[in-house]
């Protein structure tokens, strides 16, 4: 099994290197790992108290950020090393001031893992939500480094729980403790012999609360939203945009619309705006007066979505017709009803929001139209769903402190 694993990692790296000739993200993945040994050694040389946090991408980083920042506050003598697997995390947060060192994680080869540990000599290691790298975990265990996984969710169809999953199950034995989001994960892990498990919730609740309380005012949005219902479609993909644009082009309701796509490259923005039949403007290219007069505002930059929700009445979260929905909690913490597509089942918070009536999932355009019409025409229904959203986030906060309290004890 180790041989198969090694071959699969080598094949993945080879394919990324080939893709790098024509794919910008693949090129970033490759370029970011060039000369990593020299650069890492120069960065951490002389440091003796390094704590390592690893995140797959940007979403997982935001999930782990409250723990990183609380840990740093409680242990100011420690240096934080933050690694990313994906360019979408590293390139956005490579200047994050909450970490002392930020790098791409070298590919999971045995030699890389050993050399990485020799250079860093971590005192502790934290993995956020998932990312199970055999050689890194094996090396951490061999060196008796306390290693933690937090905000994790496990599902019955994962390889850990299959009769042929011994190789993957062994990876879990490297963790000193596993902090999970739901009771199903606790039961699954205990079913294969792991008792070092705590039901702790999701640290994202702490993060979105911090975002909400510290969200920046966007003066351009003040006049756009004044006196009107605002539908905010966040982290959208083409299928989401197709449905939202069909609705806004034909609906007689009083919504104004904000579309903040997951990808904001020029081609994607142009494909969105080409289909819009109402008066639209782009966020970075319009004056405050032009935005106030528009019916549709297209966000053509990154970094503002979490602050947009404060101006909304109803939220639509994209990704539900692809690999899975994006962050619902950023909208929920501002007290907005949440709507998303059918692919939400991997996300505990989405299931919870549906169960309490704070969110709605839809399959067809007709379903979406009915939901948006309902929230625009029935303010009592909209306000009730929004209140349930906010109360849910408030209730679920505190996971970060629980993790650190257990580790410190």
pLDDT digit string, tens, across residues 38-78: 999 999 998 989 999 999 998 899 999 999 999 999 999 99
Confidence at residue 131, expressed as pLDDT on a 0 to 100 scale:
87
Which architecture, in CATH terms, is 2-201?
A: 3-Layer(aba) Sandwich (3.40)
Tokens of 172: 């879990």
pLDDT digit string, tens, across residues 73-91: 999 999 999 999 999 899 9
Top-tier CATH class for 216-395: alpha beta
pLDDT digit string, tens, across residues 284-299: 999 999 999 999 999 9
pLDDT digit string, tens, across residues 111-155: 999 999 999 999 999 999 988 999 999 999 999 999 999 999 999
Nearest to residue 362, comparing CAs of 350, 346, 348, 377?
350
Q: If you write DSSP's letter for every residue of 60-113 in order, what string do you get?
A: HHHHHHHHHHHHHHH-TTSEEEEEESSHHHHHHHTT-TT-SEEEEPPP--HHHH
| Residue 305 contacts residue 260 (beta carbons within 8 Å) | yes
pLDDT at 363 over 80: yes
pLDDT digit string, tens, across residues 30-40: 999 999 999 99
Measured distance CA(298)–CA(295) in Å, rounded: 10
Confidence at residue 14, expressed as pLDDT on a 0 to 100 scale:
97
Report the pLDDT averaged over residues 185-199. Answer: 95
Query: Under 8 Å CB-to-CB from 209, ≥6 apart: which residues?
Result: 333, 393, 394, 397
Measured distance CA(2)–CA(168) in Å, rounded: 10
- Whether 2-201 shares its CATH topology with 216-395 is answered yes
Confidence at residue 201, expressed as pLDDT on a 0 to 100 scale:
87
pLDDT digit string, tens, across residues 195-230: 999 999 889 899 888 888 877 788 888 889 888 899
Confidence at residue 142, expressed as pLDDT on a 0 to 100 scale:
97
Confidence at residue 349, expressed as pLDDT on a 0 to 100 scale:
92
Confidence at residue 167, expressed as pLDDT on a 0 to 100 scale:
93
Parallel/antiparallel/unpaired status of strands 177-180 and 197-199? parallel
pLDDT digit string, tens, across residues 315-325: 999 999 998 99
Measured distance CA(401)–CA(409) in Å, rounded: 12
pLDDT averaged over the chain? Answer: 94
Indicate the pTM of the whole model. 0.81
pLDDT at 275 over 90: yes
Q: What percentage of the chain reaches a pLDDT higher than 70? A: 100
| Residue 298 contacts residue 272 (beta carbons within 8 Å) | yes
pLDDT at 403 over 90: yes
Ordered by start, the domain boundaries in the chain are 2-201, 216-395
What distances in angstroms separate CA 53 from CA 50, 140, 168, 207, one per listed residue? 10, 13, 21, 16
Confidence at residue 307, expressed as pLDDT on a 0 to 100 scale:
87
């Amino acid at each position: 099994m180790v041989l198969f694993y090694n071959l699969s990692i080598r094949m993945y790296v080879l394919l990324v290197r080939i893709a790098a000739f024509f794919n910008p993200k693949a090129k970033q993945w490759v370029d970011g790992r060039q000369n990593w040994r020299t650069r890492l050694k120069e960065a951490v040389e002389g440091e003796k108290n390094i704590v390592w946090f690893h995140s797959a991408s940007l979403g997982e980083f935001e999930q782990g950020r409250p723990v990183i920042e609380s840990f740093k506050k409680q242990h100011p003598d420690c240096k934080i090393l933050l690694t990313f697997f994906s360019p979408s995390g590293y390139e956005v947060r490579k200047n994050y001031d909450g970490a002392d060192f930020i790098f791409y994680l070298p590919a999971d080869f045995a030699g890389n893992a050993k050399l990485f540990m020799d250079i860093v000599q971590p005192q502790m290691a934290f993995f956020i939500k998932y990312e199970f790298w055999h050689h890194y975990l094996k090396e951490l265990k061999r060196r008796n480094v306390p290693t933690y996984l937090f905000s994790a969710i496990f599902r019955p169809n994962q390889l850990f729980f299959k009769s042929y999953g011994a190789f993957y199950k062994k990876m879990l034995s490297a963790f000193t403790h596993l902090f999970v989001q739901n009771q199903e994960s606790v039961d699954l892990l205990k079913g294969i012999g792991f008792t070092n498990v705590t039901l702790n919730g999701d640290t994202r609740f702490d993060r979105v609360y911090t975002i909400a309380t510290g969200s920046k005012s966007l003066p351009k949005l003040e006049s756009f939203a004044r006196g009107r219902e605002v539908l905010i479609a966040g982290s959208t993909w083409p299928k989401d945009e197709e449905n939202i644009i069909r609705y806004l082009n034909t609906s007689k309701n009083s919504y104004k619309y904000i579309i903040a796509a997951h990808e904001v490259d020029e081609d994607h923005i142009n494909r969105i705006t080409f289909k819009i039949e109402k008066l639209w403007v782009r966020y970075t290219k319009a004056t405050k007066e032009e935005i106030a007069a528009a019916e549709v505002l297209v966000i053509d930059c990154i970094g503002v979505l979490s602050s947009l929700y404060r101006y909304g009445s109803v939220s639509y979260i994209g990704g539900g017709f692809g690999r899975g929905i994006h962050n619902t909690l950023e909208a929920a913490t501002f007290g907005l009803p949440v709507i998303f597509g059918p692919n939400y089942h991997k996300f505990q918070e989405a299931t919870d929001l549906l169960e309490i009536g704070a969110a709605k999932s839809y399959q067809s355009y007709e379903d979406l139209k009915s939901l948006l019409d309902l929230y625009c025409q029935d303010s009592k229904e909209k306000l009730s769903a929004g209140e349930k959203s906010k109360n849910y986030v408030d209730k679920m906060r505190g996971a970060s402190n629980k993790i650190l309290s257990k580790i410190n004890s």
